[in-house]
Amino acid sequence: MIATFTPNPSLDRTLEVDSLVRGGVVRANRLRLDPGGKGVNVARVLASAGLSTLAIFPCGKDDLDFIHLLEAAHVPCRVVPIAGRIRQNISILEPEGVITHLNEPGPRITAAEVASLLAAVSDSARGAAWICASGSLPPGQDPDLYHQVARLAHENGSKVAVDTSGEPLTRAVNGGVDLIKPNRHELEEAVSGEIATLGDAIDAALALHRGGSGAVLASLGADGAVLVEDGRFWHAEAPVSEVVSNVGAGDALLAGFLAAGGRGPSALAEGIAWAVAKISLPGSQMPRSDQIERSLVAVSYEPEKSRKLKEG
């Protein structure tokens, strides 16, 4: 079983428009509601693929829509009650896949509520192969939170994957988590340097690996992903016929990687296949098993380090 921990979940509203005009009145053609937050997305894609998972997250008494959406998606949940209300994020989707994200900061969570969240993680780790701790932290939260999650999970026999950014990511690396999943921007931020080539990405991932992370799965958008573990590295990618929405693509990558064992180039290939399947779906909708096409994935055991990465 793979349990996920999302300290700052969100109700995601995706609006499809013909064009976005700043200062004008824009009428949406379509609205889609999804339960969101990186860890929640990982649990959703695992459940959609028919795999055992558990989503751990805080939720207020007025957030019933969020819980009902997860129940409809058959995602097992462990809800920790909080006094506040979770955030609502808006994604505006224009033709050709251009997306504008408007993300709220989220509620402030009390020390007692954090303690309840950590207790839920500790208890759930006893029956989990992985705890996947993902996303931003609520406002005012200790940046050491994911380090604390890792300690509790390890004490209870579970491995830990972390997908976050900034100081919480740095603290997690220093805390010796088993896996981190930064994207290109987060890699640049973590090593304070530009990632312009595949070699830059590999070198940055190796630096984080040597800094304390057991493995690094770095997502590179249209250029696929790089995996670094035990001092070795691989690159994988697959063609994308149409980008409908890239929201949650990194979460699908991580879910597929963990579902395939969380180690080695075969797990990297599985993660890429799941991410590509997600990109063809609207909003943060997650792929089913029958929508995953593995034959398109190419894995390089000797990546071309001089290759320039695509913009964006």
Distance CA 255, CA 43 (A): 8
- Exposed, middle or buried by CB within 10 Å (0-12, 13-18, 19+), for 299? middle
Provide the sign of the torsion angle of the four alpha carbons 180, 203, 144, 12, taken in this order.
negative
Nearest to 250 by CA among 222, 211, 208: 222
With H, G, I as helix, E, B as strand and everything else as coil, classify residue 47.
Answer: helix
| 36 close to 12: Cβ distance less than 8 angstroms | yes
Token digits of residue 214: 């057991």
Q: Which residues contact 43 (CB under 8 A, 6 or more apart)?
A: 2, 4, 53, 54, 55, 75
Distance CA 12, CA 32 (A): 8
Distance CA 238, CA 236 (A): 7
Q: Which among 62, 200, 251, 290 is annotated as catalytic?
A: 251
The dihedral formed by the CA atoms of 65, 71, 76 and 82, expressed in degrees to the nearest 10: 20
Q: How far apart are the first and last CA of the chain?
A: 34
Distance CA 186, CA 163 (A): 10
Whether 251 is a known active-site residue: answer yes
Active site residues: 251
